[in-house]
Amino acid sequence: MSKIGLIAGAGELPVEFATNAVSKGKQLQIYAIKGITDRKIQNIAPTKWLNLGEAQKLIDSMKSDVITDVVMLGKIEHFHVIKSIHRFDRRARQFFGQLVDKRAKSILEAVLNELKKEGFNPIDPTPYLSGLLVPEGLIAGKQPEEEALKDIEFGLSIAKEVAQLDIGQTVVVKNGVVVAVEGLEGTDKCILRGGELAGEGTVVCKVARRKQDMRYDVPVIGPRTLKSMKKAKAKILAVEAEKTLLLEKAEFKKLAEKYQITVISSKIS
């Protein structure tokens, strides 16, 4: 049986994958990042902890563990990379020095190519996460009114363009105006900034890239997203159907009802 190597970033997504892979009887070895990966992941499968940027140590460990398939899941924020780059090993510094640009898509695609060169097979994790994909339609709350629907349509179209440029996956809009665009700060801080700038009643829109490679950087929402929206007094979360992963579904729906936040998903061509 082939062994899967999970390179785990922050958040619940790597934990969900690990849990589901083990439940399906897969052999799993986890490579976690100190200070970033949730420590509870080590209770699911054998785990090795590395510093961010220990590229050679990661590759050597994967080879010694006889890894065939590899998955990268979980957030590693851009600012973590920028803050830590001076501590990267020679292999990682060389890798970053060869990149034409430092956008998330460019970095992740280059990492996948580097892993392929080393003989590993980057696989699509969605068969282990298919139950988390958001279906089309109303997920929580009340059906939006006509004016809100206009903001949703507008926001999703703008978010799609922003995602394609690989700036971020999230925009915040209100009354037909783009209030905030996700950059280095990540989704939650983008939501909070939108609330600071436009007050209550903003609409948060999150999408995938066109022709999204499901092996990396798939948009994710969860209870934390709603908690940020509550602080920002945002009223609607609109996401792309069948391209967005929903974590902790029961808790998410419970919070959406408690905070009176509408969550809706649409297919985007």
Q: How confident is the model at residue 191 (pLDDT cuts 50, 70, 90)?
A: very high
Is the per-residue pLDDT at 61 higher than 90?
yes
Domain boundaries, the chain: 3-128, 133-266
pLDDT band at 189, cuts 50/70/90?
A: very high
- CATH fourth-level superfamily of 133-266: LpxI C-terminal catalytic domain (3.40.140.80)
What mean pLDDT is predicted for residues 167-187? 94
Judge contact between 29 and 3, C-beta under 8 A.
yes
Cα–Cα distance between 151 and 238 in angstroms, integer? 10
Terminal-to-terminal C-alpha distance of the chain:
38
> Does residue 229 have a pLDDT over 90?
yes
What value does the mean pLDDT of the chain take? 91
- The model's confidence at residue 184, banded by pLDDT at 50, 70 and 90, is confident
Whether domain 3-128 has CATH 3.40.50.20: the reply is: yes
Residue type, 170: T
CA pair distance 33, 76, nearest whole angstrom: 9
Write down the pLDDT at residue 1: 67
Three-class SS string for the chain?
A: CCEEEEEECECCHHHHHHHHHHHCCCEEEEEEECCCCCHHHHHCCCEEEECCCCHHHHHHHHHHCCCCEEEEECECCHHHHHHHHHHCCHHHHHHHHCCCCCCHHHHHHHHHHHHHHCCCEECCCHHHCHHHECCCEEEECCCCCHHHHHHHHHHHHHHHHHHHCCCCCEEEEECCEEEEECCCCCHHHHHHHHHHHHCCCCEEEECCCCCCCCCCCCCEECHHHHHHHHHHCCCEEEEECCCCEECCHHHHHHHHHHHCCEEEEECCC
Do residues 238 and 152 touch, judged by C-beta distance below 8 A?
yes
Q: CA torsion sign, 129 to 213 to 105 to 227?
A: negative
Nearest-angstrom CA–CA distance, 254 and 226: 10
